Amino acid sequence: MNEILRAVDSVIQDYNEYVGGYAVLFMLIPTGLFFLFRLKFLNVTKLFHSVRIVAGKYDKAGDKGDVNHFKALTTALSATVGTGNIVGVSLAIYLGGPGAVFWMWVTGFLGMILKYTECTLSHKYRQFNSDGTVSGGPMYYMEYGLKKQLGRFAKVLAIIFAVAAVLCSLGSGNMAQANSMADALHTSYGVPVLWTGLVTTALVLLIVIGGLKRIAEVTARLVPFMAVLYVSAALLIILLEYDRIPSAFSLIFTDAFTGTAATGGFVGSTFMMTLIWGVRRGLFSNESGQGSAPIAHAAAKTQWPAREGLVASLEPLIDTLIICTLTALMIVLTGAWHLEGLDMGVTMTIRAMEIGLGKIGLDYFGTHIVSIGLMLFAFSTVISWSYYGTRAANYLFGEKAIKPYYYLYGLFVFFGSVWGIDIVWHFVDMVITFMTIPNLIAILLLTPVVVNETNKYFKAMKAKDQS
């Protein structure tokens, strides 16, 4: 069995190294730049308008959909604010050096406009099921939005994406999160990974079978709590090292274009390694361009697709530009990134938290804050990604596929808990590309629709303000 897994892992690594990683790199950044200029930096100029939407200023009870703007945002955020913010950042620094953080920032900034684009399209082309619930996502705007341009191939592209979404739900949204939870509990408390897998599987199944409304209720409570807990501790550590913050930023910016020579436990990197790992982990963190978040945002209660797109644009800001930055600064400021003997899992972040809080005699709490934060982040991601997977399975096979999918999903929670971290993360990197590449092609082809929806929305808002 181990030999088979090693052989599979070798094939996956070859794909990631020579095909997938470069394909995403050379598509994601140019596509983000294209929409940034085409939509006139809308993610920056309309930032406060986006915040007002989330705050409920434009909520209307009569609008069609399953959840309000805030719950749509927290559901999508709970799927993105996960192990990428804790383990993913340490992985990026371990494999690409501190400069990888800069490329995570680039991915996050461009991700804001990509999230706007894909979620606007998803809401526009969403479909209502027989029970009144909503189904949406890239597979729908591929099939219905690209029908005139691509003919039958539009449906083929949608099927490719939906199959990839099912695989990705089992990989990045499930196994990677379960693996990190098991790793954190085993490292910090000595809990056997087998027990973590069994308990986590049971809890996940209890929640996800209730559908989006139950998932939204859970995530609306978990996301704010876990964010405050983790962010507060990271901010405290950064403030304790306030005098070294400029040098930390200088290191990140310098290393982004030069790479860093191997020192201690750090794996040496060139500029290209720094760039690739920053983009990979940035994409894993905020999922911009991947096409996952549009599935959740399609269910929002609003008549304006562009309005929900604006809500979605806040995700990379919160996820990558704020939370990932705090983790990165904590690791760099405490020097944990070049300590010998640390592996590339959660250990580096835990050590950074221990060193930072140790300066005020609270190092004991460092392990618990990271471990608890990671478990809450990862658990909320697992339950949210189950919804993405069910929508993709429903698109492919109809409603009869949803229940079998739940049990398959639970099985992969268990697999992720007990398998080694290397093959899990390699699988994650592979399946992300299977979603991202078709999705980026689709949103580029649908640029006129996005521009039209954007102009239509802001014209209506201007008319309302003047009336």
What pLDDT, on a 0 to 100 scale, did the predictor assign at position 423? 72
Integer Cα distance of 270 and 272 in angstroms: 5
Residue 349 lies inside a defined structural domain of this protein? yes
What pLDDT, on a 0 to 100 scale, did the predictor assign at position 263? 40
**What does pTM read for this prediction?**
0.85
Integer Cα distance of 329 and 42 in angstroms: 28
Structure token digits, residue 316: 């990379």
What pLDDT, on a 0 to 100 scale, did the predictor assign at position 142? 95
Residue 261 lies inside a defined structural domain of this protein? yes
Q: What is the CATH number of the domain that holds 150?
A: 1.20.1740
Residue type, 159: I
What pLDDT, on a 0 to 100 scale, did the predictor assign at position 269? 45
Residue 467 lies inside a defined structural domain of this protein? no
- Rounding to the nearest 10 degrees, give the CA dihedral for residues 32, 35, 40, 45: -50
Integer Cα distance of 110 and 129 in angstroms: 33
What pLDDT, on a 0 to 100 scale, did the predictor assign at position 196? 87
What contacts 115, CB < 8 A, 6 or more positions away? 286, 288, 293, 309, 312, 313, 315, 316
Number of domains in the chain: 1
Query: Count of CB atoms within 10 A of residue 89's CB?
Result: 30
Residue 213 lies inside a defined structural domain of this protein? yes
Structure token digits, residue 207: 């929640």
**Residue 171: helix, strand or coil by DSSP?**
helix
Residue 139 lies inside a defined structural domain of this protein? yes
What pLDDT, on a 0 to 100 scale, did the predictor assign at position 165? 92
Range of the domain at 135: 2-462
Among 327, 325, 304, which residue's Cα sits nearest to residue 316? 325
CB of 230 closer than 8 Å to CB of 369: yes
How does strand 134-135 pair with strand 127-128? antiparallel
Residue 198 lies inside a defined structural domain of this protein? yes
Phi/psi at 406 (nearest 5 deg)? -55, -45
What pLDDT, on a 0 to 100 scale, did the predictor assign at position 266? 44
Phi/psi at 10 (nearest 5 deg)? -65, -40
Among 330, 369, 328, which residue's Cα sits nearest to residue 352? 330
The Cα-based distances of 389 to 139, 406, 420, 425 in angstroms read 12, 9, 23, 19
DSSP string over 361-402: T-HHHHHHHHHHHHHHHHHHHHHHHHHHHHHHHHHHH-GGGH
Structure token digits, residue 285: 């963190």
What pLDDT, on a 0 to 100 scale, did the predictor assign at position 219? 63
* DSSP H/E element including 173: none
Among 296, 318, 319, which residue's Cα sits nearest to residue 309? 296
| Beta strands per DSSP E along 95-162 | 127-128, 134-135
**Which residues of the chain fall below pLDDT 70?**
1-2, 78-79, 81-83, 210-223, 259-273, 277, 280-281, 283-284, 340-346, 420-422, 424, 465-467
Query: Count of CB atoms within 10 A of residue 460's CB?
Result: 14
What pLDDT, on a 0 to 100 scale, did the predictor assign at position 160? 92
Q: How many alpha carbons lie under 13 Å from residue 183 in its C-beta half-sphere?
A: 27
Question: Hey, which residues does 168 pair with through a beta bridge?
Answer: none
Per-residue burial over 117-141, b if 16 or more Cβ lie within 10 Å, else e, is: bbbbbbbbbbeeeeeebbbbbbbbb
Q: What is the largest CA-CA distance in the chain?
A: 70
Integer Cα distance of 216 and 78 in angstroms: 9
Residue 238 lies inside a defined structural domain of this protein? yes
